[in-house]
């Protein structure tokens, strides 16, 4: 992988991870009709997730495994930032609890694993569907 593509996927993973964090924070704020806001956050996050897989496959031409790893990394970044924000917020009302330190590790791991599996399947299906039948 050349340096330009490497920078592109790293930048994309960081931006997508930040997008997940912002979606999680902004859509958690409204006190009324929380169910609708949560649903909107899921839909928007799903669109961001699909856009990243599209970008990896069609723009960067990444293989399915790389696409899945990059998508899982972005999800883990978003989960880490949300856990960090929750920890910082809780520090304003109480002392640091060990559960928050665990959350900094567990939230990214628990969200990245299924994100990897789904992205891998999606990227593999895309690769099969967009394969050039005239090539080899």
The tens digit of pLDDT for each residue in 70-92 reads 999 999 999 999 999 999 988 88
Q: How far apart are CA 115 and CA 68, in angstroms?
A: 7
For residue 63, how far is the Cα from the chain centroid? 18
DSSP 93-104: TSPPPHHHHHHH
User: Does 79 map to a domain?
Assistant: yes
The tens digit of pLDDT for each residue in 99-111 reads 888 999 999 999 9
pTM of the model: 0.89
Q: How far apart are CA 127 and CA 120, in angstroms?
A: 10
User: Does 136 map to a domain?
Assistant: no
Based on the structure, what is the number of domains in the chain?
A: 1
pLDDT at 136: 45
User: Does 75 map to a domain?
Assistant: yes
Q: Which residues of the chain have pLDDT under 70?
A: 1, 132-136
User: Does 135 map to a domain?
Assistant: no
């Amino acid at each position: 992988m050349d340096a330009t593509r490497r920078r592109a996927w790293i930048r994309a993973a960081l931006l997508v991870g930040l997008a997940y964090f912002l979606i999680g924070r902004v859509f958690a704020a409204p006190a009324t009709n929380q169910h609708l806001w949560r649903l909107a956050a899921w839909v928007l996050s799903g669109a961001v997730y699909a856009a990243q897989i599209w970008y990896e496959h069609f723009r960067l031409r990444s293989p399915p495994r790389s696409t899945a790893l990059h998508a899982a990394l972005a999800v883990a970044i978003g989960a880490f930032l949300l856990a960090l924000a929750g920890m910082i917020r809780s520090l304003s009302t109480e002392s640091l609890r060990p559960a928050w330190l665990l959350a900094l590790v567990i939230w990214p791991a628990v969200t990245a694993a299924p994100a990897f599996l789904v992205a891998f399947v999606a990227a593999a299906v895309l690769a099969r569907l967009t394969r050039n039948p005239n090539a080899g």
